[in-house]
């Protein structure tokens, strides 16, 4: 019997179509059934048209059995459910970036940790729990939930602990850095480099690197990065962290800079640490800008996509995303090794059991096997521990609608804590709750109280969110007209839902 | 640089030559260096001659760099050290079987648990610690110790916890049952059946069986075994355990029967549970008999071995032993999955962290990766827990030379406890210590006291080891003359150091 | 506001009235409210009359606010709920002793472990869960459940893990042995001896004994017991265990003998280990006999009780039962140290987290504080581990009504496993389920199947429960007429619900 | 036999004499033996004279058996060893405060965490390990080490994990806040308030407060503190933390402000949070000042101390320090409850097993019993977790002399991380290593390299420690002349080694 794969948030053209084509590339899945669901009908329709075109052009027996706003219908009997939603869309995302700026917190991505990521988690968790309820009730018994949506660790945590669904969080985060490491070491192919990564999503560390079977030390890697002409410019935060910790982080320069207290707390110095050649290197609200441009461009460019001559699906076209490989491993027994987000359960012995870690895993017909990694270097563990504590509070707050716990989560966020004082944090969270109320059903009773508190501080002249700026390194959001002038680059950009791939693509071009 | 592999107990013709040839079958190891060591010069010489013949006949650059009684010379710079000793040889082994019979304890194998296995552990542990000391001092940095010697769990436990050497315990135990399961399910090939085994060495359970991707229940498996014409006769204990527990045991009928309190405690009923067509199905002292015969035969038959035309080494000749595959995985990155004996560390969540478990592992250049298995079924865990407690006491006793702890270990052995009372156990252990003193340096000070205690109970007429019998199911040890009459079978037998393989070979013949 | 204490199984004259009087002895509880409930109206009425008499005679403001068959009414608003039920009464208890005898299992008490204790657990668990439901629903918020009912560990386990009620299991088990130890050491007062006990209920070990501040070794204690004129006769099992393990057990000779595989498996030798001067030293079905006699006598003797001139309540009359001291500690802050049954949670580091351990605790207004004990001696831990595994299976079976798991529990019981084979165990459990169906609602659907299986084996002549005997050491149950001849002793006996106290009382008399 | 108590750092007049007199107040210790050791002969002599005077004036048989610079002689046969050293004295302490100021880090106490506490730990650890070596070698078997020296958690951690000595860390930290809580709640006596505190030394939380048996919520406590006329002014940081976390911290306002990132990072706002009426409320380098003044004053005032008419030792004079009570409990069995610093071992379930926690404990002849506390509120645990990670790195660095790990410890310190960037931290640590080299034997090989690195950055104009200020809230260190003008107050001050007591004393006066 063919497998059934359902996509939630299928209107996300980048992820959904990419994973869809990856699955079609597996011979055993040529006849698979797919179901697409989203809350945005136009986006869903566009993506469904592109997917149908892929089936048709490749002459496959696969079927889109549903493309529907009715999520339960899409999930009905599904063996695999893939989450690629962006809850609140760009509208809410903009608030995640702009309100914190008023309190001095300057984020680059803001979708994983820091105040933006925490609030994004609050919007996601009620949805994730709804998805899980549907999966438990209508999907196949023991269906697997593949979560691509950020904040990945929080969503996966909620799905496992509260949604009670078998879940794995997926991210290609380790791929980009692996490619960079191979590059700086002078490898001809990533395969010459063996890596073990361990940590939490977007803060994973290359804890063991073998180059042609030889162990590479942190010292050696640092020198290699420092002398690399481009990375020494674009990866200043990552290289500084490597200098201090002895380990390279999987995370991009911009993302990493917002997870730790050291690099973005002094507005005047932010630019010292980042590079504006690509948004992912640290641009204020960089991901928001590129997503906004991409979404607008896709709407404009869609007719062209529909007509384009695409590569045939198949091994040559398959991406590095783990999703299709996991399903392939489980169904066919072809063994796969990747890095997955799972409940820790002692895998990393110096992180708590209940947190979601990103660690190596093997997939075959025996399931997703997560080997024990053991102890992380102390500095890595200390940094992760701070984030894990924030995530735990944020997840529990998001599940229970507990405003105090939510504020305590933000209070303990390393960058926010380095920038704000407690009263500023309390006001900032109130302001965000009020602004994002539409997407926060669990805080329904609390939001009017937050609004009242805000009014009161304003009335008393004690309001703190008074900084007027666009951040230390903000770029202009290009209009479709502007983008049209450089259409080729834009097409690539629009396709790049993949943050790291985007950079690798740029890198590849420049070499 | 070619790898160096050292064998301790290289005079063990079955294991040593088998693993040696397996390694030669890996193209990257064609030029490997091997070092052989043993305390028995004639045996060592015979095996070395056979190994040199293998190199010569296959035109390989590999070298036997040492064949020596000097263990440190053999281990010098070794990357991998393989232990295939039998400490105390057949002489001590005979005592492990015969003394317990005087106290009513009737063992089939007696080399893993029960009183025989516990005493075997006492003989092994001082040697294992000596080997580990040498490895730490003269082998390559971070050399891997591959332990094949029984009692495997105790030896591996001692090597890791007290020897402080990176160790993995290896056994092909799961292979035989896997083959049987495939057989009873009607599979054409073992590969149609996916298994996850978990437990402790020689008491591992098939906790998850997929046949062509479909989950097989205990009920289904029970019915399949019950209706199998031969296994329903030869595997009565295993099938009964499957009936009670819902899970099939990896261990042979004879071995399993001596680990639990239910099948060998009433002498008159033992034969109901066993089958004498193969020693491994339960014959009293069966393994002792077959080893004795095999060793005698090898001494006689050696000239013929030396002249024989052997198969060329290569994939077609390679055995199912994990050893060569592990080394291949670590050195070449070719991924391998097997079942390995390692420190639990939470892998099986309802067994203690410190015990040695046998669980699935993946090997590649990233090391030996042990995924978390989770919780075992309660009845399986309860049975294992009893054995683990015995092992822990036996290991600590063996390290410290603590007679009381040793007796407490035996006191808690399920079969011994079902047969004997405490005073009988105390006397039996004293008697064994006295008889095996040669191989028990750690008990040097204690053995005279044990002798004195024994004398005293004898003098007082309180001696309990008075049962005169050869066990419920003892067979005659054949002379070389008798064996010569059936030389072909004997040759196969002599080669079969592999307990399960021996049975599979018979099985294959009979089908 | 006065506290409210509810007794379930209040018809148990020994426990209920004893604890009631103990509570009245606390000045702060002079005005407490008590509620009594039972399913047996005559018994309840008799006890209520005695309690009312105690209030009246002592001129206290305390009140019996309810004496009712309606449990929820009794529990309504209760701060403390004390369980002193005997589920199934003597009728079921008799089956716990007599059916196993047909399969060769000879128990002395049979209410904690072994086949009798396991079945008793099956009868208790549904009731305990009902009590817990009522407590959650109608008792005071965060009410404390004090469980005196056996099997104590299983009941406490069920109440905590499945009943979700704050529970402590109470037993005076450690008191008797403490008194014996003081006695053999020559102490003038128990207070000269400091003890730390740890283990599981009825299998707790004196792991640290200080006599006048000096550490007493196992060796010294053994010699002291061996030379004690009476204990050397009455405590042979306990002394033998002390000889083998190095630690004295809290449990009486008879009870201990049925928890381990060594002393009751050979019918002809049982009498070597026990002493018939008191039932608790090992008499077959001894507790059943004494309870039967006691209950009959109480019914006869009640009018005399009602008229008797009792001691005034107060410190001089207060018993060693922990119950009133715990409540006193929690309410008044007067610090108390006792040994309590609680979820392990790492307190004994080499027993699993989820089991119920009996360990030292301190009580004051800060709650019941359970210090970490650390690691038990290996032999003690090994013995306990076997019991804990049985308990876990028995509890889960009892909650779920899972016959297979129930049989697996019995299969792993040390004494049963030393006596029976698996098929005998399977039949014995079926037979007990059928016989006790009235008290086993959770097995309602399974019992007809068990009956069918039994019929089938009988029809086929394969029925195994064919041993015809009354056990190795059975005494005659005295009639009321016989007892009347020795009324004074009988009165003491009827009051002694307290197993150990009964022995201490005898001891005291004999000195 | 009388007990022997040894004091290391006996020249610390406050602690040593206070504990000495407390011990003399226990009747059973009237004949105890005391040994005093210090590296500073004049201080040692002065304290020894005062102690001898106490014995004499109270007519006790106790003896000062040694007052010596030879530590091993003092420890010889000691049952209890009390550590009240200040390693590096005021000279090093001044560097702990002044160098960080150059990099913008403004500390109040600086002896527990933050950069000052971390460096203090580096100075202490080699000494603590030396003390432990001596204790293992010459003290009584299983002697107890009572550590009063700060940084208490780090010292206790080192002593247990690396010194392998039975150790408990002692601090009266919880007393002050307990007194405050009783005060704001309107209690007449601290005894009306029951508290459970849990956390790590100097960051312990009142996790459960009962006032006359009634639970006090965080909300209620907050209102009570906010309306308290004086605490609302002096405890602004503690009250703000109570507001955010819902729990009151044991730690003084000044200390707490330097452990978290929120209150001292903006120099201009520090004064908003602190109060200069007492150094402990937040004064820059306040403890350094008061210690300096106190030491100078003591030297001047000593003749007067020697002549003074002291209170007789006895219950009325006994302090709240736990030390004498612990020894009393262990030796006499008189039960005591206090808050102690011990290895966590699961006591606080959401902190790591290996860290040192401050939690309730019961002491009697059974030892120091540490009950399991369970889970801390998430925000409290998150804050502690950050400190614990710093401590672990600092301890391991201090043991191994690992500069990188030391810098990583500082890098993760919450306040330092909120103020500095990584390069500043690297330079600051180098600068402190160079300045404190005398007291850092473990860094002997590393310090020249640090000096070289510093020279290099200075030469290149990259030196960062350029801030010229005395901190946001620095007070003048009074000369002896100035102090003489207010001698009475000064005498009290000099006696107050006890930070909290000092404040309580002031409080008491002002009421």
- Set of chain B residues whose Cβ sits within 8 Å of the Cβ of C392: 378
pLDDT in tens, A103-129: 999 999 999 999 999 999 999 999 999
With 80 as the cut, is the pLDDT of residue C319 above it?
yes
**Contact state of A350 with D352 under an 8 Å Cβ cutoff:** yes
pLDDT in tens, C258-293: 999 999 999 999 999 999 999 999 999 999 999 999
**Contact state of B366 with A208 under an 8 Å Cβ cutoff:** yes
Contact in structure between B490 and B297 (CB atoms under 8 Å): yes
pLDDT for D511: 39
How far is the first Cα of chain A from the last one, in angstroms, to the nearest whole number? 46
Residues of B with CB under 8 A from a CB of C: 240, 243-246, 261-263, 265-266, 269, 350, 352, 378-379, 381-383, 385-386, 389-390, 392-393, 396, 404-405, 407-408, 411-412, 414, 417-418, 420-422, 426
Both tokens assigned to B155: 């030896």
pLDDT in tens, C335-348: 999 999 999 999 99
Task: Tally the C-alpha atoms within 13 A of residue D402's C-alpha that lie toward its C-beta.
Answer: 16
Q: Which of D129, D121, D116, D108 is nearest to D151 (CA)?
A: D121
Task: Tally the C-alpha atoms within 13 A of residue D495's C-alpha that lie toward its C-beta.
Answer: 15
As a residue count, chain A comes to 511
pLDDT for A502: 52
Cis ω for the linkage preceding C511 (within 30 of 0): no
pLDDT for C302: 92
**Contact state of B366 with A360 under an 8 Å Cβ cutoff:** yes
- Residue B435 has a CB neighbour count (10 Å cut-off) of 17
- Set of chain D residues whose Cβ sits within 8 Å of the Cβ of C166: none
How far is the first Cα of chain C from the last one, in angstroms, to the nearest whole number? 46
Task: Say how far apart CA C93 and CA C100 lie, in whole Å.
Answer: 12
- Residue C308 has a CB neighbour count (10 Å cut-off) of 11
Q: Which of C340, C324, C331 is nearest to C367 (CA)?
A: C331
Spell out the SS3 assignment of D56-96. Answer: HHCCCCCEEEEEECCHHHHHCCCCEEEECCCCCHHHHHHHH
CA distance A246 to chain B (A): 19
Q: Which of B361, B328, B327 is nearest to B344 (CA)?
A: B361
**Contact state of B347 with A210 under an 8 Å Cβ cutoff:** no
Task: Tally the C-alpha atoms within 13 A of residue C254's C-alpha that lie toward its C-beta.
Answer: 27
DSSP 8-state class, residue C242: H
**Contact state of A337 with B364 under an 8 Å Cβ cutoff:** yes
Inter-axis angle of helices A173-185 and A218-226, nearest 10 = 80
Task: Say how far apart CA A340 and CA A346 lie, in whole Å.
Answer: 15
Q: What global pTM score does this model have?
A: 0.94
Partner residue facing D418 (CB), from A261, A407, A426: A261
Q: Is the dihedral of CA B150, B151, B153, B159 positive or negative?
A: negative
pLDDT in tens, D214-243: 999 999 999 999 999 999 999 999 999 999
Indicate the average pLDDT of chain D.
Answer: 94
Task: Say how far apart CA D420 and CA D123 lie, in whole Å.
Answer: 23
Task: Tally the C-alpha atoms within 13 A of residue C153's C-alpha that lie toward its C-beta.
Answer: 28
What mean pLDDT is predicted for residues D48-64?
97
Residue of C nearest to B262 (CA): C421
CA–CA distance from A199 to each of A221, D299, D417 (Å)?
A: 19, 55, 21
Both tokens assigned to D101: 């100021």
Active site residue B172: yes
- Set of chain D residues whose Cβ sits within 8 Å of the Cβ of A386: 382, 385-386, 412
Both tokens assigned to B203: 């008491």
Site of tokens 């441009």: A293
Contact in structure between D417 and A387 (CB atoms under 8 Å): no
Task: Say how far apart CA B230 and CA B233 lie, in whole Å.
Answer: 5
CA distance A371 to chain B (A): 3
**With DSSP H G I counted as helix, E B as strand and the rest as coil, what are the percentages for chain A, rounded to 5?**
55, 15, 30
CA distance A263 to chain B (A): 33
Which secondary-structure segment (H or E) carries C437? none
With 80 as the cut, is the pLDDT of residue C425 above it?
yes
∠B112-B118-B122 over CA atoms, to 5°? 115
With 80 as the cut, is the pLDDT of residue C487 above it?
no
Task: Say how far apart CA D350 and CA D381 lie, in whole Å.
Answer: 7
Among D103, D120, D148, D172, the active-site one is D172
- Residue D461 has a CB neighbour count (10 Å cut-off) of 6
pLDDT for A15: 86
Task: Say how far apart CA D339 and CA C78 lie, in whole Å.
Answer: 33
Both tokens assigned to B381: 């865990």
Cis ω for the linkage preceding A112 (within 30 of 0): no
pLDDT for C39: 97
Task: Say how far apart CA D511 and CA D504 lie, in whole Å.
Answer: 10
Task: Say how far apart CA A378 and CA A120 lie, in whole Å.
Answer: 29
- Are 3 or more Cβ–Cβ pairs between A and B shorter than 8 Å? yes
- Set of chain D residues whose Cβ sits within 8 Å of the Cβ of A219: none
pLDDT in tens, D276-321: 999 999 999 999 999 999 999 988 889 999 999 999 999 989 998 9
Pairing of strands B4-8, B80-83: parallel
Task: Provide CB contacts within 8 A for A196, sequence distance 6+.
Answer: A206, A207, A208, A360, A373, B366, B367
Among A316-320, A492-496, D197-201, the range scoring the smallest mean pLDDT is A492-496
CA distance D367 to chain C (A): 10
Contact in structure between B356 and B341 (CB atoms under 8 Å): yes
Counting as contact any 3 or more CB pairs under 8 A, the partners of D are: A, C
> What percentage of chain C carries pLDDT values higher than 90?
90
CA distance B450 to chain A (A): 44
Contact in structure between D274 and D257 (CB atoms under 8 Å): yes
pLDDT for A113: 96
Contact in structure between A393 and A409 (CB atoms under 8 Å): yes
Q: Which of C79, C83, C80, C113 is nearest to C96 (CA)?
A: C113
Task: Say how far apart CA C351 and CA B95 lie, in whole Å.
Answer: 35
Task: Say how far apart CA A154 and CA A87 lie, in whole Å.
Answer: 13
Q: Which of D63, D204, B440 is nearest to B431 (CA)?
A: B440
**C304, exposed or middle or buried, with CB in 10 Å at 0-12, 13-18, 19+?**
exposed
- Set of chain D residues whose Cβ sits within 8 Å of the Cβ of A396: 378
**B109, exposed or middle or buried, with CB in 10 Å at 0-12, 13-18, 19+?**
buried
Active site residue A325: no
**Contact state of A372 with B335 under an 8 Å Cβ cutoff:** no
Contact in structure between B358 and B339 (CB atoms under 8 Å): yes
Both tokens assigned to C75: 């529990």
Among B484-488, C48-52, C259-263, D138-142, the range scoring the smallest mean pLDDT is B484-488
Q: Which of C194, B180, B365, B478 is nearest to D335 (CA)?
A: C194
**Contact state of C408 with B265 under an 8 Å Cβ cutoff:** no
pLDDT in tens, A196-242: 999 999 999 999 999 999 999 999 999 999 999 999 999 999 999 99
Task: Say how far apart CA A459 and CA A453 lie, in whole Å.
Answer: 10
Residue of D nearest to A349 (CA): D352
Among B108-122, B437-451, C199-213, C491-505, the range scoring the smallest mean pLDDT is C491-505
Task: Say how far apart CA B460 and CA B350 lie, in whole Å.
Answer: 46
With 70 as the cut, is the pLDDT of residue D501 above it?
no
Q: Dihedrals φ, ψ of C66, to 5°?
A: -155, 140
Task: Provide CB contacts within 8 A for C346, sequence distance 6+.
Answer: C353, C372, D345, D346, D372
Residues of D with CB under 8 A from a CB of C: 194-196, 208, 210, 213, 331, 333, 335, 337, 345-347, 349, 360-362, 364-367, 369-372
Q: Which of D456, D393, D412 is nearest to D430 (CA)?
A: D456
Q: Dihedrals φ, ψ of D509, to 5°?
A: -65, -45
**C369, exposed or middle or buried, with CB in 10 Å at 0-12, 13-18, 19+?**
buried
Among D80, D259, D263, D287, the active-site one is D259
With 60 as the cut, is the pLDDT of residue B507 above it?
no
Both tokens assigned to B116: 């025989």
- Set of chain B residues whose Cβ sits within 8 Å of the Cβ of C263: 421
Which secondary-structure segment (H or E) carries D326? helix D322-332
As a residue count, chain D comes to 511
Q: Chains A and B: how many Cβ contacts under 8 Å? A: 66
What is the Cα gyration radius of chain B? 22
Residue of A nearest to D418 (CA): A418
**D284, exposed or middle or buried, with CB in 10 Å at 0-12, 13-18, 19+?**
buried
DSSP sequence for C296-345: HHHHHHHHHHHHS-PPPSSGGG--S-HHHHHHHHHHH---EEEEEEEE-T
Task: Say how far apart CA C215 and CA C210 lie, in whole Å.
Answer: 5
Partner residue facing C378 (CB), from B265, B405, B420: B405
Task: Say how far apart CA D236 and CA D207 lie, in whole Å.
Answer: 20
- Which amino acids of C are annotated catalytic? 172, 259
Q: What is the ipTM of this complex?
A: 0.95
Residues of A with CB under 8 A from a CB of D: 240, 243-246, 261-263, 265-266, 269, 350, 352, 378-379, 381-383, 385-386, 389-390, 392-393, 396, 404-405, 407-408, 411-412, 414, 417-418, 420-422, 426
pLDDT in tens, D377-397: 999 999 999 999 999 999 999
């Amino acid at each position: 019997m063919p497998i059934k794969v359902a996509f939630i948030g299928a209107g996300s053209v980048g992820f959904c179509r990419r994973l869809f084509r990856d699955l079609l590339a597996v011979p055993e899945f040529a006849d698979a059934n797919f179901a697409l669901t989203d809350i945005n009908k136009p986006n869903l329709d566009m993506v469904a048209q592109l997917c149908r075109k892929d089936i048709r052009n490749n002459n496959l027996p696969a079927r889109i059995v549903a493309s529907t706003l009715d999520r339960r219908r899409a999930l009905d009997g599904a063996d695999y459910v893939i989450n690629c939603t962006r809850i609140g869309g760009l509208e809410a995302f903009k608030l995640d970036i702009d309100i914190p700026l008023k309190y001095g917190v300057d984020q680059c991505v803001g979708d994983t940790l820091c105040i933006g990521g925490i609030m994004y988690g609050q919007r996601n968790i009620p949805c994730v729990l709804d998805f899980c309820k549907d999966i438990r009730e209508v999907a196949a018994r023991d269906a697997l939930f593949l979560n691509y949506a950020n904040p990945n660790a929080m969503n996966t945590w909620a799905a496992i602990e509260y949604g009670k669904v078998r879940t794995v969080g997926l991210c290609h985060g380790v791929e980009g850095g692996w490619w960079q490491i191979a590059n700086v070491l002078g490898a001809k192919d990533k395969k010459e480099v063996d890596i073990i990564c361990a940590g939490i999503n977007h803060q994973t560390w290359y804890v063991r690197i073998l180059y042609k079977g030889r162990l590479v030390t942190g010292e050696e890697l640092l020198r290699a990065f420092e002398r690399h002409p481009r990375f020494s410019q674009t990866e200043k935060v990552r290289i500084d962290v490597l200098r201090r910790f002895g380990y390279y982080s999987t995370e991009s320069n911009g993302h990493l800079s917002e997870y730790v207290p050291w690099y973005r707390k002094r507005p005047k110095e932010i630019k010292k640490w980042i590079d504006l050649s690509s948004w992912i290197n640290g641009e204020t609200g960089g991901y928001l800008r590129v997503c906004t441009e991409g979404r607008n461009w896709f709407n404009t460019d869609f007719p062209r996509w529909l007509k384009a001559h695409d590569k045939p699906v198949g091994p040559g076209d398959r991406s590095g995303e783990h999703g299709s490989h996991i399903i392939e491993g489980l169904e066919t027994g072809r063994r796969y090794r990747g890095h997955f987000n799972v409940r820790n359960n002692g895998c990393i012995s110096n992180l708590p059991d209940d947190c979601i870690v990103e660690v190596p895993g093997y997939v075959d017909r025996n399931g997703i096997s997560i080997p024990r990694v053991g102890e992380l270097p102390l500095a890595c563990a200390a940094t992760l521990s701070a984030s894990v504590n924030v995530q735990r509070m944020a997840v529990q707050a998001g599940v229970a609608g507990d405003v105090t716990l939510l504020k305590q989560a933000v209070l303990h966020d390393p960058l926010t804590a380095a920038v704000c004082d407690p009263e500023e944090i309390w006001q900032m969270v109130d302001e965000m709750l009020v602004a994002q109320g539409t997407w926060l059903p669990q805080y329904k009773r609390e939001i009017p109280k937050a609004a009242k508190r805000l009014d009161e501080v304003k009335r008393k002249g004690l309001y703190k969110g008074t900084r007027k700026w666009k951040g230390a390194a903000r770029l202009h959001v290009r209009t479709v007209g502007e983008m049209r002038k450089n259409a080729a680059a834009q097409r690539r950009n629009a396709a790049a839902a993949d943050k790291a791939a985007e950079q690798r693509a740029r890198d590849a071009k420049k070499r």
